[in-house]
Structure 1
């Protein structure tokens, strides 16, 4: 499943870079999740933006539902490591957007299920 992650913070680009490093260091995600950092509108000349955007996106591909759940858990753990108030992380997949703003296990499970339902029909 392919998705994008963005961080809602005054220092969004820096926070997104820290989140990406956190996720890359998570041993539970290795081999199950691939990531690439991008700038929104990169290569899009119609955006009218001059130079790189301050907001960094992390494009992610999770190999299965377990990897997706582990990804959301890792995002929640990263948020708990940030100064208060921690930044909100938005995950978007196939037109479905969820916001990770908690570390509540039940809420993370519900968010994982919402993203799983966003898988395209094959």
Structure 2
């Protein structure tokens, strides 16, 4: 499963902090390939935070997806307020992690797994709708 993680930060450096956190997470070792590249800044007049980097994650299996989302939630909990949100994109669908609630994390995992089961689905198709849960 190929994923793109975008950190929407108020203060710079959060994308790099998430990248380091993911690379150091033991539960992801051997289960995920993690890399980063620069993304485009928001267009002039566009609202929202700035995503300085996209963290690319390639997971070896679906079980690693739960570990990844749990790790992202733990990382968010470690950040000072206001905590950055993390949007995860896979196969045209996206979910935004804005919580560390285990039940909500489970629902995000299921949303991504459902979409991964239908890799050809187009945005707006069932199972491919963007999800944002706080």
Q: 1:31 maps to which residue? A: 30
Gaps of 5+ in 1: 42-52
Q: 2:10 maps to which residue? A: 10
Task: Give 1:36-75 correspondences, 5 Å limit.
Answer: 36-40=35-39, 55-75=52-72
1:32-88, CA deviations, whole angstroms, 9 ceiling, x for partnerless residues?
Answer: 0111101125xxxxxxxxxxx961000111111210000000000000000012110
Task: Give 1:41-120 correspondences, 5 Å limit.
Answer: 55-119=52-116, 120=119
Tell me, what secondary structure is at the counterpart of 2:35?
strand
Q: Distance in 2 between matches of 1:30 and 1:11?
A: 28
Over the residues paired in the alignment, what is the CA RMSD in angstroms? 1.6
Higher relative contact order (CA 8 A, sep 6+): 1
Deviation at 1:11, TM superposition (A): 3.1
- TM-score (normalised: structure 2): 0.76
Q: Distance in 2 between matches of 1:79 and 1:18?
A: 10
Q: How many residues align?
A: 109
